[in-house]
Amino acid sequence: MYFFSAVLAILGSVAYHHFVKRISPAIHPIVSIVGIYVGVLLLSGSLLLVFPPAEGYRHHFRQINWVQLAVAISVFLIELGFVLMYRAGWNLSTANLVTGVVINILLVALGLLLLREKVSLINAIGIVLSIIGVAMISYRP
């Protein structure tokens, strides 16, 4: 499951960016996101019918709390951000890379500040190289 889950995330991410880049500029970005979530709801609902929870639906639906709303808001912001980035002219080859590096640097900072995680010297060198790489990728003469 360790590698399978990573492969799913990678395939999903590649497909996601490929298809988000192809969304027609004629459709309102939020309407497009609503269409995406209708599809996600149908797919998730279908999978729940095929793979029902052992403890029953009620047991699991009762555990939904504010965290799911926070994730929903986060996912919505990601969706809207990438739709707007691609419409503004970002390239498929750089948009996710640039945002990914910045996100990871912010997550390192959160890990250091909130979770008391440690960064080794080699990690720090990698972070610096990532920042340099983003600057080089983002540079437009």
- Each domain of the chain, given as residue ranges in start order, spans 1-89, 91-141
- pLDDT-derived band at 22 (thresholds 50, 70, 90) equals very high
Reported for 52-58, long-range contacts at CB under 8 A and 24+ positions apart, including other chains, are none
Amino acid type, 125: I
Segments in 22-65 forming alpha helices (H):
29-50, 57-61
pLDDT at 12: 93
> Of 113, 73, 80, whose CA–CA distance to 99 is shortest?
80
At 62, the amino acid letter reads: R
**Model pLDDT, residue 113:** 93
**Distance of alpha carbon 123 from alpha carbon 103, whole angstroms:** 15
pTM higher than 0.85 for the full model? no
Q: How far is residue 9's CA from residue 13's CA, in Å, rounded to a whole number?
A: 6
User: pLDDT value at position 138?
Assistant: 78
Average of per-residue pLDDT across 95-122: 91
